[in-house]
Structure 1
């Protein structure tokens, strides 16, 4: 799964419905090394008798934008 140092794990899930393949899913949030961006990472792994597949995606938002958004939400009581 995502091996980011100092990441905040937002969600971690393993599922294996009866008679089906195994799915692993993890969502984490961390700061970039320069501390200018928030990085949301999504990692999914699928295990089946035919093999395994994994997908990892990263989304980043400038910290300035994230903080402005939080302040605006707080000011409007949302």
Structure 2
């Protein structure tokens, strides 16, 4: 999910809505604009994220193997991306 924040500041935009939508299309993800100041789409964003998480098929195994003595951190290593 690509999120554009501060949608209430129309005159001082860093990124236009159509640019955000185009980038989301390139990344093959959803796009939503929010405003923490006015609470616009904030609840909807979290509802959508929860909905996407429920649909996601996530495995905690590494290379298809289930290690009995691996720590939780080892199992999760390499499974998350932060942008």
TM-score, normalising length: structure 2:
0.28
TM-score, normalising length: structure 1:
0.29
Q: Return the structure number with greater strand share.
A: 1
* Bigger Rg, which one: 2
Q: Return the structure number with greater helix share.
A: 2
